Amino acid sequence: MGDERHSAAYFGDSRDHWWNPDFLALMAKRWDLAEARTVLDVGCGVGHWGRTLAPFLPLDASIVGIDREPDWVQEATRRASLVGGPRTFRYLEGLAERLPFPDATFDLVTCQTVLMHVADPPAVIGEMLRVLRPGGRIAVAEPNNAIGGVVRTSESANAPIDRRMALARFQVVCEEGKRSLGEGDNSLGDLVPGLFARAGLVDLSVYLNDRARPLLPPYASQAERAAIAEMDRFADREFWIWSKADTARYFAAGGGTEAEFEVLWSMAIEVRRAEVTAIREQRLDDGGAGLVYLVSGRKPTGS
């Protein structure tokens, strides 16, 4: 999987600012989270998503997280121990493609930005469905990340159109290459509703996260400070969306040439550094747009 494990580079504090609390409260009603006493968080990482949903679950809810990385399981366990309250958290090592649970175990099976990382999303959805009780709900949050290639900041808005289009194409080619290598589809969110329908889920619902993450001087909010820390870290490491090694693999697999890659990589890192410089000079404006689907469906009661 290259030199970054899945989304490990994105496990910083900025992840705690992906959702508006009032929107989550609304989604809790739409998803009937008050009915879910047994919950499975698939590909839990260090436990962000399960802890995010926990306040909307019954007080006696049991939340189980599973991830293939033992270090993340250990860290999720540590972080959950700091939460307190009556809800219980338990984290286990295992694969999303072979969930180590009996059929019909959970009231709710959920994940956040996990299906985008797997080689065979329908197979993982099938496993999620298998361990879900009849009448229970699968609920996932998955993005279209390619949209980031055309979202503008005050730093990029006046760049030549050929340059902007070249970087947008760079991202799309890399995403296609990543998918062809069996390492996931960074814009899978567009396709998840159809995957759920073909899996036989019923009462389907599709919403969009209402959270924007703007950066506006003087960058005073916790969310802005967390985002800037992440941008600084990426700039220091010459990290774009992925590391250089992974980006090169994805671009080649998507049909790009080595010579073209070096030009586009330099361009992408130059943009990253320019944005960091603009922040330090208190002159970057960024509306913070993103596109994340929240898709859910129920397992038929006759299953």
Segments of the chain scoring below 50 in pLDDT: 1-3
- DSSP H helices in the chain: 21-30, 48-53, 70-81, 121-130, 161-180, 192-199, 222-237, 244-253, 258-280
**Amino acid 9: pLDDT:** 75
Q: Is the dihedral of CA 97, 35, 86, 8 positive or negative?
A: positive
Kind of pairing between the strands at 132-143 and 62-67: unpaired
pLDDT at 7: 64
Tens digits of residue pLDDT in 232-249: 999 999 999 999 999 999
The reported pLDDT for the residue numbered 85 is: 81
For tokens 């306040």, the residue is: 55
109 vs 121: CA distance, rounded Å: 15
Predicted confidence at residue 63, as pLDDT, reads 97
Asked if residue 42 lies in contact with residue 114, where contact means CB atoms within 8 angstroms, the answer is: yes
Which pLDDT belongs to residue 83? 85
Give the residue ranges of DSSP H helices in 3-112: 21-30, 48-53, 70-81
Structure confidence at residue 6 (pLDDT): 52
- Determine the pLDDT at residue 13: 81
**Helical packing angle, 244-253 and 258-280, nearest 10°:** 140
CA–CA dist 21, 116 (Å, integer): 24
For residues 47 and 226, what is the distance between their CA atoms, to the nearest angstrom? 18
- Assign domain 31-144+187-212+289-298 to its CATH architecture: 3-Layer(aba) Sandwich (3.40)
Matching residue, tokens 């009937």:
32
What is the rounded CA–CA span in Å between residue 213 and residue 290?
8
Distances (CA, A) of 269 to 111, 127, 218, 242, 273: 31, 39, 24, 11, 6
Tell me the C-alpha distance between 254 and 94, whole Å. 30
- Going by C-alpha positions, the residue among 139, 84, 87 that lies closest to residue 108 is 139
For the chain, the structural domain boundaries read 31-144+187-212+289-298, 147-176+215-280
pLDDT at 246: 96
Q: Which two tokens stand for residue 281?
A: 């000079």
As beta bridge partners, residue 62 has 38, 88
Residue for token pair 């996932």? 140
Residues paired with residue 84 on neighbouring β-strands, in sequence order? none
